[in-house]
Structure 1
């Protein structure tokens, strides 16, 4: 009976940020799909990666659905929380990323995932922005790069939307993402420079800064089909932010493990894929080596994250109050 009560308590505190794991695995899947295309190899890993990512998404959805049914109040608290609120779009982004991964091998599934993911993401974006506009309790210290997720996540839509033929919708979502990337980036820089440092538990979210320009580059290339000046600005902005964060590696290595460590994964996937795309556009080997190097690093990081997360779950370090 005591064990049952303990498990029910863990369900009550199951964090919405868990879906960041799906984003990381999806990014890894798309990265290796791109690498195999660039290297003209078939390593046979795509079905396994898609299967693993899909299974994880289904399991997390079932767990969170159970939390919604049994602990609706806890879900409402997350929806009102100034930080946790911004992780709800990780569900719709996971669907969009899976649609990108599935499109080359299962076009029908890719289209369905894209349609559901895009519609859900628009609804969540509108909800979150309404909360932002009419809040009564947010303070500047609540601001962190996770705030990019709801609005800037819209940039992802064209990556699968253009191949599926939804040109105008893709431009619509892309415009939303770019607009709020510029707005939120300004606020983040102000918050980092002139206020107290970001809480240690949320420090890994700084890697999210890489994702908007890197994904923006990939999406823009889908939209216009050529490497123009704006595409280069997006790519090199993402590359600079990657370098900036790598120079702070010792700070990140000193951090204790939190579920927020998964914030390292998807942004690294984004810049590695963007680098491989730069190689395709320019033919310069530098970008191929850079992209493959970052993808190799990402693979090691995801493996480490899976192990550390499993250990944390086993030791009851996750799904506890305050996480």
Structure 2
């Protein structure tokens, strides 16, 4: 029997204090699946109803996660500040604005006015977070090479997400601004990330799934570019095929992924695969390529399998109290 007095026994910290900002990657995954199903519905109309289901599930997830994170901001500001100062989690803050932009994109066909309002909110927040995150990167804090992961692409991805709906909504010049910013920082970060991957220690196992984020910037940039220019040209093909190259590299990494235990960074698999699915179906629609219909269908099936696995593993982890615990 322990001799420790009650005052000497440390009480467990509230889980809310450890509610992580990467939880918004769940919303990105759900909205990515929504848009992928919507894109696939042009070929398989039965997917339209399923897309609507996941749209509202994604909206509900965003509301719930936002409520928890706002509560964390109000009660545990020091913990939020610690996340902001964390070299990896800092890059996940734009997942909040990306989630809003994706919801606006999904709502636009049915609720255009509400979607425009949400897009403006998401775009303003994306601009603020982009400047804040990049300022954090170039501040007096000394980041080490080992702290650089593909998660740092998330702010760049957010900037190329904005034009996907922004251009059809009429925000053309603003969309070009976001697209240019995202593309430039994607190229810069791609160079830095590959330098880190090739010449330095491997990415820690828990963050290894973030490698899949490499697929997202070119796939989303393709969607943004064709919406800005109105068609497929040589540069659009370069973007799409870059996404396929990175996807092939990730397929080679499957044996390494299979060895890893589940953690929230596994949600990094969802949105990039969804973006490549949408890009494939859009290319097929614009060019009449049946090959890309087959490619899009295959990636969509993979995406659905990934989402089933992620949702199941996340629910199991929550029931086992493996989520929202101190690192």
* Alignment partner of 2:150 out of 127, 145, 148: 145
2:273 matches 1:268: yes
What are the Cα deviations for residues 176-229 of structure 1, in whole angstroms up to 9, with x where unaligned?
000000000000000000000001000000000000000000100001112111
Select between 41-50 and 27-36 the one with higher mean Cα deviation. 41-50
Distance of 2:103 and 2:182 partners within structure 1 = 19
Q: 1:33-60, CA deviations, whole angstroms, 9 ceiling, x for partnerless residues?
A: 1111233456422331111100000000
1:62 to 46, 63, 67: 67
Distance apart, 1:8 and its partner CA:
5.9
Distance 2:149 2:182 in 1: 17
Q: Which residue in 1 is equivalent to 2:171?
A: 166
Q: 1:30 aligns with which of 32, 35, 49?
A: 35
Residue among 185, 193, 197 paired with 1:192: 197
- Tell me the secondary structure at the aligned position of residue 266 of structure 2: helix
Inter-partner Cα distance in structure 2 for 1:36 and 1:119:
31
Task: Give the 3-state SS of the residue equivalent to 2:262 in structure 1.
Answer: coil
Note the C-alpha offset of 1:115.
0.7
User: Which residue in 1 is equivalent to 2:3?
Assistant: none
Residue 229 of structure 1 is matched in structure 2 by 234
Question: How many residue pairs align between the two structures?
Answer: 318
Query: Residue 140 of structure 2 is aligned with which of 123, 131, 135?
Result: 135
Structure 2: where are the runs of 5+ without partners? Answer: 1-9
Deviation of the 1:235 alpha carbon: 0.4
1:95 maps onto 2:128 in alignment: no
Q: Is the 8 A contact 2:156 2:217 kept in 1?
A: no
Shift of 1:247: 1.4
Larger Rg: 2
Structure 2: distance between partners of 1:114 and 1:102:
10
CA contact under 8 A between 1:145 and 1:205: conserved in structure 2? yes
2:5 maps to which residue? none
RMSD: 1.4
Structure 1 length normalisation: TM-score? 0.96
User: Does the 8 Å CA contact 1:145/1:209 hold for their aligned counterparts?
Assistant: yes
Q: Match for 1:320 among 297, 301, 325?
A: 325
Aligned mate of 1:183, from 181, 188, 193: 188
1:244 aligns with 2:249: yes
Distance 1:314 1:70 in 2: 24
Give the alignment partner of residue 209 of structure 1, picking from 209, 214, 231: 214
Task: Determine the C-alpha separation between the residues in 2 that align with 1:283 and 1:303.
Answer: 31
Q: Indicate if the aligned counterparts of 2:281 and 2:293 stay in contact, CA closer than 8 A.
A: yes
Offset at 1:66?
Answer: 0.7
Contact 1:152/1:176, CA 8 A, preserved across alignment: no
Per-residue deviation at 1:297?
Answer: 1.2
Greater displacement, 228-237 / 131-140: 131-140
CA–CA distance in structure 1, aligned partners of residues 147 and 110 of structure 2: 41
Counterpart Cα distance in 2 of 1:248 and 1:284: 29
SS at match of 1:45: helix
Does the residue aligned with 1:162 lie in a helix, a strand or coil? helix
Look up the match of 1:106.
Answer: 111
Q: Report if the CA contact (8 A) 2:274-2:300 is conserved.
A: yes
Deviations 1:241-295 (A, max 9, x none): 0011111111111111011000000000010111111111221211101101111
Give the Å deviation of 1:105: 1.4
Partner residue, 1:120: 125
